[in-house]
C-alpha cells in the first residue's frame, strides 16, 4: 500500500478513473497547468491533455452548467469549485437542473457528474472560503453529498462518486488535505456512498460527525475513556443519503446522542439527524439530543475561528451534560 495524504489520494482516484474511462473530463478554474487551488489535479493535464483537463473562466455557474450539458451528452465531468462559499453562484444549475433532470425526464437522461469543492474552516481563510454549506444540498432531492475524513475514504468515496450515475457533491475538508498520511490501496476501490463508519465503538454516548471534526471527536472520546465514559464515534461520510440505520442502532445501544458539525446550528444537518432519531428511536433516549456546532453568524475573522468552531471543551461539556441528565 501507498502512504498518502488526502490530497494525494484524491488525485490518484481521478487519475486512475481517467485511465479507465475516457468519458471523464475535469474542468474548473486553474485545474490545468496550475493543478487546482490546492493542487488536487496537479499533473493531470500534462498526462491527459487539454481536452480532458480544462481551465475555465472565473465563472462558477458556467462550470456547472457546462458540466450538466456534458453529462446528458454522454460524458462524466468532474467539476472543481475552488471554495464552497462560491457555490451560491451555481445553485440554480445544481438544485433546479442537475438534481432534477433524471426525475423530470422520467429516467431518459442522467447527470453523472461530480462537483468537488474544498470546504470548512480551520486554516485561517475568511468567511466564504471557510463556509460549511452542506445542509443546503441535503435539502436538494436528487443530489448526493459526500464528505471524507481521511485519505482511504477520500479515494474510495471519490471513485464511487465518479462511477455514480447521479450528481454527487464531493466536499473536501481543507484542514485534512495534508494533515496526516494513511495507507491507501494502490488499486482502485470503492467506499459505498450512504454507509457511515463507526470509527470508535462505545456504550455510553453516541457522537455523529463528519469531515474535519472526526479527528477532534476521536481525541475527545479517548480522553473521555480515561474518565470512564465510553463514547461511540460515527463518521457519517455521506450527508445525503444519511445512514439512519447505523445511527439508530448506535443510539439504541448508548441511549445518548450528540451531533458535532462545523456548519451553523440553525437549519443544519444536525437538526435533521436529531429529528430522525426522535422519529425512529425516541424511547431509546435517556437524555435530550445535543448539538455542538458553529454559531449562527457568518464565518468569523481568523483570530477567533478556533472559538467559533466546535472544539474539545465544548464537546466535553456536551458529553458531561448528557451523562448527568
Residue numbers annotated as active site: 129
DSSP-assigned letters across all residues of 92-114: IIIIIIITTHHHHTTTS-----E
The CA R_g of the chain, rounded to the nearest whole Å, is 19
Q: In this structure, what C-alpha cell is assigned to residue 267?
A: 437549519
Q: Is residue 6 a contact partner of residue 12, using CB atoms and an 8 Å limit?
A: no
320 vs 325: CA distance, rounded Å: 9
Reference 85, options 56, 116, 53, 117; nearest CA is 117
Nearest to 82 by CA among 121, 39, 44, 36: 36
In DSSP terms, 257 is beta-bridged to 206
**8 Å CB contact between 70 and 25:** yes
Cell numbers at residue 265, please? 446550528
Cα–Cα distance measured from residue 255 to residue 174, given in angstroms and rounded to the nearest whole number: 33
Q: Give the Cα-Cα-Cα angle 296, 64, 34 (nearest 5 degrees).
A: 90
Closest C-alpha among 271, 272, 249 to residue 203 = 249
Alpha-carbon distance of 300 to 302, in angstroms, equals 6
Of 188, 198, 183, which is closest to residue 158 (Cα–Cα)? 188
Q: 273, 240 in Cβ contact below 8 A?
A: no
DSSP helix/strand/coil, 188:
coil
The distance in angstroms from the start CA to the end CA of the chain is 46
Amino acid at each position: 500500500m501507498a502512504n498518502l495524504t488526502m490530497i494525494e489520494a484524491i488525485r490518484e482516484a481521478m487519475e486512475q478513473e481517467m485511465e479507465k474511462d475516457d468519458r471523464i473530463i475535469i474542468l474548473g478554474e486553474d485545474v490545468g497547468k496550475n493543478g487546482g487551488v490546492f493542487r488536487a489535479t496537479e499533473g493531470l493535464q500534462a498526462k491527459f491533455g487539454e481536452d480532458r483537463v480544462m481551465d475555465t473562466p472565473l465563472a462558477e455557474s458556467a462550470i456547472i452548467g457546462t458540466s450538466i450539458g456534458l453529462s446528458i451528452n454522454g460524458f462524466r465531468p468532474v467539476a472543481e469549485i475552488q471554495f464552497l462559499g462560491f457555490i451560491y453562484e451555481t445553485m440554480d444549475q445544481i438544485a433546479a437542473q442537475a438534481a432534477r433532470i433524471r426525475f423530470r425526464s422520467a429516467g431518459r437522461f442522467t447527470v453523472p457528474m461530480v462537483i468537488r469543492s474544498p470546504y470548512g474552516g480551520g486554516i485561517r481563510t475568511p468567511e466564504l472560503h471557510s463556509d460549511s454549506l452542506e445542509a443546503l444540498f441535503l435539502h436538494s432531492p436528487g443530489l448526493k453529498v459526500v464528505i471524507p475524513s481521511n485519505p482511504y475514504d477520500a479515494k474510495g468515496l471519490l471513485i464511487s462518486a465518479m462511477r455514480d450515475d447521479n450528481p454527487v457533491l464531493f466536499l473536501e475538508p481543507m484542514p485534512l488535505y495534508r494533515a496526516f498520511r494513511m495507507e491507501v490501496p494502490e488499486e482502485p476501490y470503492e467506499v459505498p456512498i450512504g454507509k457511515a463508519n463507526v470509527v470508535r465503538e462505545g456504550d455510553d454516548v453516541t457522537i455523529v460527525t463528519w469531515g474535519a471534526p472526526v479527528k477532534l471527536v476521536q481525541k475527545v472520546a479517548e480522553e473521555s475513556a480515561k474518565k470512564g465514559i465510553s463514547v461511540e464515534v460515527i463518521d457519517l461520510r455521506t450527508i445525503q443519503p444519511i445512514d439512519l440505520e447505523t445511527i439508530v442502532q448506535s443510539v439504541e445501544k448508548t441511549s445518548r446522542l450528540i451531533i458535532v458539525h462545523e456548519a451553523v446550528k440553525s437549519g443544519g444537518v444536525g437538526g435533521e439527524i436529531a429529528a430522525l432519531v426522535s422519529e425512529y428511536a425516541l424511547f431509546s433516549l435517556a437524555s435530550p439530543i445535543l448539538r455542538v456546532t458553529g454559531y449562527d453568524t457568518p464565518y468569523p475573522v481568523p483570530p477567533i475561528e478556533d472559538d467559533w468552531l466546535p472544539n474539545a471543551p465544548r464537546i466535553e461539556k456536551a458529553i458531561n451534560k448528557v451523562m448527568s441528565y
